[in-house]
Structure 1
Amino acid sequence: MKCWICGAEEAATREHLAKASDLKALFGKPSQRYPLYFHASDRPGMPRRRNIRVGSLKSDTLKFAHRICLTCNSARTQPYDYAWELCSGDLRAAVPRLLARGSFRANWLFPYDTRRAMRFVHLYFTKLFGCLVIEGGIPIDIAPFSEAITSGRPHPHLYLAFGHLPLPVVMAGGSDVHTAQLERKVAFATWLYHVGDLAVNVMYALPGQHREGLKVAWHPHMGAQRLRFTRFSGETD
């Protein structure tokens, strides 16, 4: 199996559906005695699964089925992973304050080299959304995702919105990907990633799309001065 990011033949590793550090922050280290419980809706090649006991954060149950190479899953994207790990922890700790203010400054998260660090956060979700495109067979061109990750430049059509999503139980993961097509091509796609009550709405939007969710979204080309922090209802557009 080829790595979808760089095209290498030896794709032997798998990306976590929800970042391992996010899972550890919420649930600690699971064990066979104190497991996590995994739920997933139908995905191509993977039937609906409910209440699957998971005794380790390294379990393949918590990962995408499609593989990427070791270089892309380590040296190439570790800076992106680490940027989100820091961002996730600080945002989760400040949710009540951020809701009251409705926004935050990126240099509060990353006092040094702010724009670069926020670009890395964007690239982490570029990798995750690219995995979703590949795994789900979504008709979106994967080449710009690969180019963004390997070059370190932001994907031109991927936007992030940060906010609060109240859930009835403590969980981490993501929604289904919802798409809208124009002339037989996906023009807009939206996906919610959540860690506890912190959520990131990842949106793919071709030029000319004027969706409601984009009004509070951020892209690295907008700079990294002040980002919106909104209330999500679970329905995104």
Structure 2
Amino acid sequence: MVNFVLVAGAWLGAWVWDEVVPLLRAAGHGAYPLTLSGLADKQGVPAGQQTHVQDIVGEVERRGLDDVVLVGHSYSGIPVGQAAERIGERLSRVIFIDSAVPTDGESFVSGWPAFRAAIEASMAENGGFWAPPAAAGYAGHGLTDEQVERIMDNSTPHPGPTLTEPAELAGPLAELPATYIKCLLAGPEPIPAVAKMLASEKWRLVEVETGHWPMLSAPGELARILLDAAER
């Protein structure tokens, strides 16, 4: 038995794992979806980058979890990668789903130069928050109209400081046991920072033919991949 702590990306909350959690629990594992501060049911809670790291570390400690598999999707790969380092021997594996990965001293936006201006403009127009995308932003990702409507109805603006404050790592991320899940409809190749990590013998790459939100578009396949990764 392992304990999955599931952290969704920007704009999202624990709700997005609703179809994955029962499959992990049915296989005999613990599954704990987590909403980060300032999002979804925690909207209005002030949050910076280290707040999100502590949200994850605190969840592991509060529940007294061991054999932990931390799962980070999209933006949340940044705090999840830092939290994986900080929970020490409690960590079994970290799994990144089509995500960013932390670099010491770098922020989320500094790792996405092509999108940085657009993200910062959205923050300037929305009181320091990154606004969720319009419906067109979900096109081509294998989502039904109903799934797009659900994600839009439940998304909340993302707190800007979590995107602009730097990550803090004490050691090399490549030394952690990790699996990276690349969602091919979101692009055929991992970003350069991820490709660098994948050179490590402790990292594995798994490709899946779905879009950037596989917990909605392919929950069964995602659960299978998570379970397989946890056994390695």
TM range (shorter): under 0.3
TM-score, normalised to structure 1, is: 0.24
TM, length-normalised to structure 2: 0.25
The structure that is helix-richer by fraction is 2
- Which structure has the bigger radius of gyration? 1
Whose strand proportion is higher, 1 or 2? 1
